[in-house]
Structure 1
Amino acid sequence: MLELFISAFITFFVVIDPPGCAPIYASLTTGASASQRRSMAIRAVVIATLILLTFALFGEDLLRALGISLDSFRIAGGIMLFLIALEMVFEKRTQRREDRAQRIIDTPEVEDVSVFPMAMPMIAGPGSIASVMLTMARSEGMSETLIVLAAMGSVLLLMLGSLLLADPLMRVLGQKIEAVITRLLGVLLAALAAQFVIDGLKASFGL
């Protein structure tokens, strides 16, 4: 059970990336009051939690309704997570997030960033939705399902904490340390993504 929690926690932490979202949120909310930043952070995490919970509980039924096998989704999801991992290692993902944040900052009429881009796609993006569904698919029984949900909840609580403490967190970490952490997490995610693809291929071809 502890192994499952650690595996799920690492997967969600790497994909959702609380430390990576903190500087983006800090830049998006420049000029906002402390209460506004706090309310937007809470709202963003709550909305993202509802989105991820919906896919965690009903994602497999949605795939079945679309005629997509779980093994096919494992392979496709693994490939997508591997591409995200490559972007993390080569700093492409951070650059894309910063570009998106700059576009929001350059648009004065956009004030509330809790729904877009924070809740979706930064927290509950395609990668996190795929990882939640893939991890849930590997769990068997109610106890393992609850462990996976607990791991997801723990990461989302860390995300809330990182958004609420975005400014002091950035002063402590700095850009260089954040870049190192991002690259290390990218390597871990690449290994996890490869495992998803291997599991999907084994099940598909009966290996």
Structure 2
Amino acid sequence: MTIDIEHLITVFLGFFAIMNPIANTAVFLGLCSNQGADERRQIALRSLNICFVIVVCFALLGKLIFDLFGISLLALRLTGGILIFVVGYQMLHGTSAKMHQQQQGQEHSDIAISPLAVPILAGPGTIATAMNYSAGGWQNVLGSILAFTCLCFITYIAFINSQRIVSKLGNGGLAIVTRLMGLILAVIGMQMLIDGSDELYNMWTATTNS
């Protein structure tokens, strides 16, 4: 069984844009500013392990979830496209989506679980991306898991080097990265909407002609 390289690259870029590991490095450093290097490493590893398990579960059980709740791939493409486009639009204007923001007054007995793993890393957009790209066969599932594994490794490296990265990029560099990732996300979301709308039109045409 071979994995489509083009699909693998597309999935990786989609996950990279939605998770935005470079911008989230600043979030990670802010949440762990009072922790030592060893504690930051443990928090980064735990949060990414939890995030990985969540995304892989949705990638593997996507069809089962569809069948259980009566959800179609078309509905996921349309809804996921809108969701990802909104997140990208907000990032494009230099603001973080509410689903990725830390809530004021929230207690963080274990920040590796919340807010790092959920919803900053494995938020609704990431889950929707995983389910969308995993639909269509085991090749797509394996490609999505492989792409996400690579991204988790990159994110871990970024997190444990967060102080160095943030100091080199500065606020201006992080703002540029956020806007670029937002543009990519907005385009991905629009493409999902176009694909879903095209499929919906074809279904409507076939129904009216029959």
TM-score norm. by structure 1 comes to 0.89
RMSD: 1.9
Tell whether the 8 Å contact from 1:9 to 1:155 is kept in structure 2 after alignment: yes
1:111 Cα deviation from its structure 2 partner: 4.4
> What amino acid does structure 2 have at the position aligned with 1:201?
S
1:181 Cα deviation from its structure 2 partner: 1.4
Residues 1:184 and 1:206: Cα distance change in structure 2 (over 3 Å): same
The separation in 2 between residues aligned to 1:81 and 1:144, in whole angstroms, is 20
- Superposed CA offset, 1:87-118 (max 9, x none): 10012217885x617645xx5xx343100000
**What is aligned with 1:9?**
12
The separation in 1 between residues aligned to 2:103 and 2:39, in whole angstroms, is 18
Stretches of structure 2 lacking an aligned partner (at least 5 in a row)? 204-210
- Superposed CA offset, 1:41-93 (max 9, x none): 10000000000000011022112211121101110100000000111001221
The separation in 2 between residues aligned to 1:142 and 1:197, in whole angstroms, is 24
Q: Number of residue pairs matched?
A: 200
1:200 Cα deviation from its structure 2 partner: 1.1
1:45 correspondence with 2:45: no
**What is aligned with 1:123?**
121
The percent of aligned pairs where both chains have the same amino acid is 28
Pick aligned residue for 1:146 from 136, 142, 167 = 142
Runs of 4+ aligned residues of structure 1 deviating over 2 Å after TM superposition are 94-97, 101-104, 140-145
The separation in 2 between residues aligned to 1:72 and 1:88, in whole angstroms, is 24
- Superposed CA offset, 1:1-30 (max 9, x none): 221111111100000111111111111111
**What is aligned with 1:100?**
102
1:160 correspondence with 2:156: yes
Residues 1:59 and 1:143: Cα distance change in structure 2 (over 3 Å): closer
Tell whether the 8 Å contact from 1:28 to 1:101 is kept in structure 2 after alignment: no
The separation in 1 between residues aligned to 2:180 and 2:143, in whole angstroms, is 25
What is the correspondence of 1:72-83 to structure 2 with a 5 Å cutoff?
Answer: 72-83=75-86
The separation in 2 between residues aligned to 1:20 and 1:102, in whole angstroms, is 20
> What amino acid does structure 2 have at the position aligned with 1:130?
A
The separation in 1 between residues aligned to 2:56 and 2:43, in whole angstroms, is 20
1:179 correspondence with 2:175: yes
TM-score norm. by structure 2 comes to 0.88
Name whichever structure is richer in helix by fraction.
1
Tell whether the 8 Å contact from 2:133 to 2:140 is kept in structure 1 after alignment: no
The separation in 2 between residues aligned to 1:174 and 1:112, in whole angstroms, is 27
The separation in 2 between residues aligned to 1:141 and 1:134, in whole angstroms, is 11
